[in-house]
Structure 1
Amino acid sequence: MPDAAPFLSSYHRVEEGWIDYNGHMNMGYYTVLFDRCADEAFAEMGFGPDYAAARNLTTFSAEFHIRYLREVKLGDRVYSTFHLLDHDAKRFHSFQELYHEDGWLAATGEGLTLHVDLSGPRVAPMPEDVQARVARMAQAHATLPTPDGVGRRIGISRKG
């Protein structure tokens, strides 16, 4: 388990097929990038392809909310933070920030992830060893300030 908090992913490059007719990355590929970066954090918690194959357990995304703050373009290199905000035996709440290699914030993503027994499939408690790894990451992240944008809702602000 890394000592640094929040978790930092490796760099990922914006691919050619992800660019839309506006000349920037299409909104759907922000989710792809957040997912690829989260997979690295999930591996630290014990999840991933080997976990699913060996235990017939995995994770499913229940919700994911993205804020698009600045456009990224073809060839840009980005990385993501992963901040584990909360968890229980069956779920965890996380927040990610997608940064351009030059240091500016491109997007944020907030998610609720479920632990799933694939024999159902159904939501199920994590095994104790995995719960311990999740708890260690949560403890490492507990002293971090709450990121800007956590819990935001979508709506049109009206002046009263």
Structure 2
Amino acid sequence: MPLPPSPFLSSVMQIEPQWIDYNGHLNMAYYNVMFDRAIDEMWLQLGIGPAYMKERNGSTFTAECHVRYLREIHLGDPVQISIFLLGADEKRLHTFEELRHATEGWLSATSENMTIHIDMNARKTAPFPPDIRARIEAVAKAHAAAARPEGIGRKIAMPSK
């Protein structure tokens, strides 16, 4: 299977009507749904999707997530998510995702995540198998050459005076 592009681009997604809240825009919870769907697409490319869990009893869990909501998305807006694999080790994947309007290109939200590999039999963290680790390293190396998006490593704090 070829390596995912750098950055990885999800399929174009549509906002579902039930995701719109009383403010007339996408409810914050559904940004995470779209980010998760995009990550699932990339995991398939890395070989760690549902078949991996079923055949090898390994999976991934999100350990930490930081979402920034930058511009409203509305019903009818097509969106696409780019994913940067910022770093990886034997048990962790550090990703940064950008949700953009698919035709106009403007940035709506970002999500920075730390994902851990899980041995589903023990339900504990475990190293990725060597073949998967090699694929992850190849993708991380390719993504390291891409320009880093703004917002990586942000923290929540009150503005300085």
Deviations 1:112-137 (A, max 9, x none): 00000011200000001100110111
Aligned match of 2:14? 13
Aligned match of 2:88? 87
What letter matches 1:114 in structure 2? I
Counterpart-to-counterpart distance in 1, 2:17 and 2:137: 38
Segments of 5+ residues of structure 2 without an aligned counterpart are none
In 1, are the aligned partners of 2:4 and 2:45 still within 8 Å (CA)? no
Matched residue of 2:45: which SS?
Answer: helix
In 2, are the aligned partners of 1:25 and 1:71 still within 8 Å (CA)? yes
In 1, are the aligned partners of 2:4 and 2:42 still within 8 Å (CA)? no
Aligned match of 2:61? 60
- How far is the alpha carbon of 1:4 from its aligned partner? 3.1
Deviations 1:55-104 (A, max 9, x none): 11000000111100101011211010010000000001000000102211
Matched residue of 2:74: which SS?
Answer: coil
In 2, are the aligned partners of 1:90 and 1:126 still within 8 Å (CA)? yes
Matched residue of 1:152: which SS?
Answer: coil
Counterpart-to-counterpart distance in 1, 2:45 and 2:127: 18
**Alignment root-mean-square deviation, CA:** 1.0
Aligned identity (percent) is 49
Residues matched between the structures, number: 159
Counterpart-to-counterpart distance in 1, 2:43 and 2:66: 18
Instruction: Give runs of ≥4 in structure 1 deviating > 3 Å.
Output: none
Counterpart-to-counterpart distance in 1, 2:116 and 2:11: 24
In 1, are the aligned partners of 2:94 and 2:115 still within 8 Å (CA)? yes
Counterpart-to-counterpart distance in 2, 1:76 and 1:133: 34
In 2, are the aligned partners of 1:3 and 1:140 still within 8 Å (CA)? no
Q: TM-score, normalised by structure 1?
A: 0.96
- How far is the alpha carbon of 1:111 from its aligned partner? 0.2
- How far is the alpha carbon of 1:146 from its aligned partner? 2.1
- How far is the alpha carbon of 1:3 from its aligned partner? 6.2
Segments of 5+ residues of structure 1 without an aligned counterpart are none
Aligned match of 1:99? 100
Aligned match of 2:144? 142
Q: TM-score, normalised by structure 2?
A: 0.96
**Could you say if the C-alpha distance between residues 32 and 3 of structure 1 is closer, same or farther in structure 2, counting changes exceeding 3 Å?**
closer
Counterpart-to-counterpart distance in 2, 1:37 and 1:65: 16
